[in-house]
């Protein structure tokens, strides 16, 4: 091997690295730019299969990876967010969305002006200047897209330049002749390359680079492309290890979808090539590969869409129930399942998912306030035990959510998403404090039982009044968090102010009763501690609503 050959290998490897890095950078920039718009798609995912196809195509076009989309789908199914029929639609759409990258690569054949060496350096320069000097974060997110786009094309140009001197080498023409005449070998080659680099978009891009230099015939290009569609399933199959049986079935559905399509198109095109050997041996071009890649995925979706139910049944047969999954679950195990790390493939979806779990934590905290209040007013030991058990659950939920939010915070986020994650972190802290104050109330209830403390009827009524107001504040703060409405925030503020006023008024009333010997010092201490805890509960509820106000203003 000469030094020239070694230099060409280095150029090809460097070009491939820039191509992959550029594709990733462009995807990160697109995700940041799309931001919270992707969160709205989570609601669409749970409606119908046809919309699922559109969502799958759209998300894949943005994140530039059908493998990542399918891994997320496995996570959604494992978390119980969507069912298998809905997952099937998203998987079909993901295969359509992945064709976007091949069209981007084929732009170099659309005309002289669109050749990568013509405009990629300019895009890179513009993106770099914006990144260095712009203060607007939206502009910087747009610059990331430009830089990624430019690097993708520069890498493509490097790969093409490294291959060009060898386009007439007999070894390449003979290799692709063999691959073309043996469909299984061609499919296996595409499968293996895609499985190794974990990206069908990248492997199709490499194939198109070879096609740009006239090194691939149509017969080998078609079968390699079919194999690449099967190879992209490997990532999802690996990701489903350790998941529920249903999640494994989602990964198998992805495999079945591409295998069925490959079998149908493989047989059809095999006979077309036999009937037309001139076409089979003709050199493929980059645009033609994009056209076939798109036709294959769109046609495959149209053909198999009505048979989604059969794909689900087939996955049920292939992934049998071994009876190892436990039916019983706890709040924490459910939360761990719902906060599936596969969903971290898209920060927007991960943030939305964490938000749902925070609402669940808030509802447990609210229930604990109500139970603790009942324990205090009714002197009920069973209620006290329930409060302590719930408080332990809330503490564990806080730990799980905090760890998940830290993982989200390390992802590629825009400013709005950073704000959401920060406020989520503060919100779970306030919810945990509400749980602590509920525990304090339960301890006061036990103290009241241990000392046989008796409240006056007036004192009990006052406790009911302030507890009801504090509970209302928590309820409206949860609704504000869930519905993102200013009216709920204002209602939370009104109830929090009511609690503040009541706390001051009830403290004075208690001092009057104490002065008139209407209650004992022991009962007074418990009473004052109780109303102080309710005042703090309302404050934390107001904090939660305040974070929502910051997000929607």
Q: Quick: pLDDT tens for 24-55.
A: 777 677 666 665 555 566 556 555 677 888 88
Q: Angle at CA 64, nearest 5°, toward 58 and 67?
A: 95
Task: Look at residue 325 and tell me whether its pLDDT is greater than 70.
Answer: no
pLDDT in tens, 232-246: 888 788 777 777 788
- Give yes or no for a contact between 347 and 408, defined as CB atoms under 8 angstroms apart: yes
Place 328 in a pLDDT band, splitting at 50, 70 and 90: very low
User: By the 8 A CB rule, do 412 and 346 touch?
Assistant: no
110: Cβ contacts below 8 Å, ≥ 6 apart: 287
In terms of pLDDT, which residue wins out, 545 or 214? Answer: 545
Q: What percent of the chain has pLDDT over 70?
A: 88
Q: Which three-class secondary structure state does DSSP give residue 411?
A: coil
Pick the more confident residue, 66 or 94: 94
Banded pLDDT at 114 (limits 50, 70, 90)? low
Coil, helix or strand at residue 217 = strand
Average pLDDT, the chain: 83
**479 token code pair:** 């609704």
% of the chain beyond a pLDDT of 90: 30
In this prediction, residue 327 has a pLDDT band, given cuts at 50, 70 and 90, of very low
Q: How confident is the model at residue 500 (pLDDT cuts 50, 70, 90)?
A: very high
Burial of 112 (0-12, 13-18, 19+ CB in 10 A): exposed
* pLDDT at residue 319 tops 90: no
DSSP states of 152-217: HHHHHHHHHHHHGGGTT-HHHHHHHHHHHH-HHHHHHHHHHHHHHHT-HHHHHHHHHHHHHTT--B
| φ/ψ (deg, to 5) at 217 | -90, 165
The highest-confidence range among 51-55, 153-157, 277-281, 510-514, by mean pLDDT, is 277-281
Mean pLDDT across 249-267: 90
For 64-113, the three-class secondary structure string (H helix, E strand, C coil) is CCHHHHHHHHHHHHHHCCCCHHHHHHHHHHHHHHCHHHHHHHHHHHCCHH
Lowest mean pLDDT among 171-185, 289-303, 348-362, 442-456: 171-185
Are the C-beta atoms of residues 35 and 414 closer than 8 Å to each other? Answer: yes
**Is 432's pLDDT higher than 90?**
yes
Rounded to an integer, what distance in angstroms lies between the CA atom of residue 206 and that of residue 346? 26
Could you report the per-residue pLDDT of 135-187, keeping only the tens digit for each? 777 777 778 878 887 887 777 677 767 766 655 555 555 665 676 678 888 88
Both tokens of residue 507?
Answer: 């403290």
Helix (H) or strand (E) holding 493: helix 486-515
Beta bridge partner(s), residue 283: 217
Using CA atoms, how far apart are residues 537 and 534, in angstroms rounded to an integer? Answer: 5
The least confident of 79-93, 259-273, 275-289 is: 79-93
Q: Is residue 28 within 8 Å of residue 412, measured between CB atoms?
A: yes
Distances (CA, A) of 200 to 116, 135, 204, 213, 423: 21, 36, 6, 20, 37
Rounded distance between C-alpha atoms, residue 210 and residue 176, angstroms: 11
In three-state secondary structure terms, 283 is strand
Q: Does the pLDDT of residue 113 top 90, yes or no?
A: no
Provide the pLDDT for residue 116: 58
Q: Which has more confidence, 181 or 261? A: 261
Q: Are 376 and 444 in contact (CB under 8 A)?
A: yes
Indicate if the pLDDT at residue 403 is higher than 70: yes
Query: Are 497 and 426 in contact, with CB atoms under 8 Å apart?
Result: no
Q: Is the pLDDT of residue 324 over 50?
A: no
Which residues, other chains included, contact 100 with Cβ-Cβ below 8 Å and sequence gap of 6+? 60, 61, 64
CA dist., res. 524 & res. 454, Å (int): 10
Looking at the predicted structure, is the pLDDT value of residue 436 above 60?
yes
| pLDDT at 444 > cutoff 80 | yes
Evaluate the CA torsion angle 502, 507, 510, 515 in order and state its sign. Answer: negative
Q: So what's the pLDDT on residue 329?
A: 52
Query: Residue 149's closest CA among 185, 173, 122, 131?
Result: 122
Dihedrals φ, ψ of 330, to 5°?
-120, 170
Instruction: List, for residues 359-381, the tens digit of each pLDDT value.
Output: 999 999 999 999 999 999 988 99
Q: Kindly state the DSSP code that residue 454 receives in the 8-state scheme.
A: -
The mean pLDDT of 370-393, rounded to a whole number, is: 93
């Amino acid at each position: 091997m000469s030094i020239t050959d070694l230099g060409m290998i280095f150029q090809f490897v460097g070009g491939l690295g820039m191509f992959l890095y550029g594709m990733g950078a462009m995807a990160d920039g697109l995700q940041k730019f799309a931001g919270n718009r992707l969160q709205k798609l989570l609601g669409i995912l749970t409606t119908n299969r046809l919309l699922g196809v559109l969502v799958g195509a759209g998300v894949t076009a943005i994140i530039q990876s059908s493998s990542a989309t399918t891994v997320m789908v496995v996570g959604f199914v494992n978390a119980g967010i969507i069912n298998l029929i809905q997952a099937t639609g998203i998987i079909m759409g993901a295969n359509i969305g992945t064709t976007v990258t091949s069209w981007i690569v084929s732009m170099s054949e659309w005309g002289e002006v669109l050749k990568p060496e013509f405009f990629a350096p300019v895009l890179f320069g513009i993106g770099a200047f914006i990144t260095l000097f712009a203060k607007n974060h939206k502009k910087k997110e747009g610059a990331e897209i430009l830089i990624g786009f430019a690097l993708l094309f520069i890498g493509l140009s490097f790969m093409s330049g490294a291959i060009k001197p060898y386009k007439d080498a007999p070894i390449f023409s003979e290799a692709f002749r063999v691959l073309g005449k043996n469909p299984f070998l061609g499919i296996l080659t595409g499968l293996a390359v895609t499985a190794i680099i974990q990206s069908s978009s990248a492997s199709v891009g490499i194939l198109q680079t070879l096609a740009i230099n006239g090194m691939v015939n149509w017969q080998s290009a078609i079968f390699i492309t079919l194999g690449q569609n099967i190879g992209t399933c490997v990532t999802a199959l690996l990701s489903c290890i350790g998941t529920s049986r249903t999640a494994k079935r989602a990964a198998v559905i992805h495999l079945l979808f591409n295998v069925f399509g490959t079998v149908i198109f493989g047989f059809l095109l095999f006979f077309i090539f036999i009937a037309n050997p001139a076409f089979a041996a003709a050199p493929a071009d980059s645009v033609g590969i994009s056209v076939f890649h798109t036709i294959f995925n769109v046609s495959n979706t149209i053909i198999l869409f009505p048979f989604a139910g059969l794909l689900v049944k087939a996955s049920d047969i292939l992934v049998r129930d071994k009876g190892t999954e436990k039916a019983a679950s706890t709040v924490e195990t459910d939360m761990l399942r719902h906060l599936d790390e596969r969903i971290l493939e898209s920060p927007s979806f991960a943030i939305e998912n964490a938000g749902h779990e925070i609402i669940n934590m808030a509802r447990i905290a609210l229930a604990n306030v109500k139970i603790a209040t009942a324990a205090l007013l009714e002197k009920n030991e069973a209620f006290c035990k329930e409060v302590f058990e719930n408080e332990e659950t809330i503490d564990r939920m806080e730990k799980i959510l905090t760890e998940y939010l830290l993982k989200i915070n390390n992802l590629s986020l825009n400013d709005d998403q950073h704000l959401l994650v920060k406020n989520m972190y503060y919100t779970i802290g306030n919810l945990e404090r509400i749980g602590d104050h509920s525990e304090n109330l339960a301890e006061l209830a036990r103290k009241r039982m241990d000392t046989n403390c008796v409240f006056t009827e007036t004192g009990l009524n006052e406790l009911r009044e302030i507890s009801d107001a504090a509970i209302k504040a928590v309820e409206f703060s949860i609704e504000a968090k869930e519905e993102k409405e200013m009216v709920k925030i204002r209602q939370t503020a009104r109830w929090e102010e009511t609690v503040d006023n009541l706390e001051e008024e009830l403290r004075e009333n208690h001092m009057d009763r104490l002065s008139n010997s209407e209650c004992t010092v022991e009962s007074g201490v418990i009473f004052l501690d109780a109303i102080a805890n309710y005042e703090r509960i309302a404050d934390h509820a107001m904090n939660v609503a305040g974070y929502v106000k910051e997000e929607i203003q």
